[in-house]
Amino acid sequence: MVDPFISQNPVCPVSIYDVEKADVILVTHEHNDHLGDGVELAKKFDAYFVSIYEITTKASYMGVKKVMGMNIGGTANVEGLEVTMVPAFHSGFPVGYIIKHGGVSIYHAGDTGLFSDLKLIGELYKPDVALLPIGGHFTMGPREAALAASWVKPKVVIPMHYNTFALIKQDPDAFAKLVKERDQGIEVKVLRPGEALTYP
Ligand code: NI
């Protein structure tokens, strides 16, 4: 799981009691809408709690047994996942993750503004799937995220971090149009809350 924001999330269709299993929980930063129920779920399922060092230290104090503190640029093997921590521009000890498993590479950007090193993430990790924030106000908006997608060059991009609150209201189809204008080769997959994508 990445950023399990469930119990306080106004658009999440399930409760934390519906979660049946978690092996690895990756947290991108300490804001409530990302850390969410991460500590509670890690304790309940004895899952690995992965985050930047400062946040895992707090999680340990809160009783999480299995923590994997990392820092930017590093790669760790966690329960068979190859996890690389990459930069994000935001507050609250922000990071993104490259998650590799079974020949598939996923980039989860966390909360971030646009930054040109996204090109390096594309060049070095060649993600198959990228999750990019499009909500604006606290992160990139659709205009910036479309440019980010063209730099990261995933096969599939999933917009995230929008329409949870009034401040981050956006039209994901407008984002899809902007991505297509920049790169016809990137498929935009808009997921509704609760919907899943199996890749490939
Ligand atoms: Ni945030």
Per-residue pLDDT of the chain (200 residues; tens, 9 = 90+): 999 999 999 999 999 999 999 999 999 999 999 999 999 999 999 999 999 999 999 999 999 999 999 999 999 999 999 999 999 999 999 999 999 999 999 999 999 999 999 999 999 999 999 999 999 999 999 999 999 999 999 999 999 999 999 999 999 999 999 999 999 999 999 999 999 999 98
Angle at 93 between CA 92 and CA 99, to 5 degrees: 120
Output the CA 138–ligand 1 centroid distance in Å: 7
By CB neighbour count within 10 A (0-12 exposed, 13-18 middle, 19+ buried), where does 132 fall?
Answer: buried
Q: Are 82 and 75 in contact (CB under 8 A)?
A: yes
Output the CA 147–ligand 1 centroid distance in Å: 21
Q: What is the pTM of this model?
A: 0.97
75-78 and 67-70 strand pairing: unpaired
Output the CA 32–ligand 1 centroid distance in Å: 8
The DSSP letter of residue 186 is: P
Output the CA 109–ligand 1 centroid distance in Å: 11
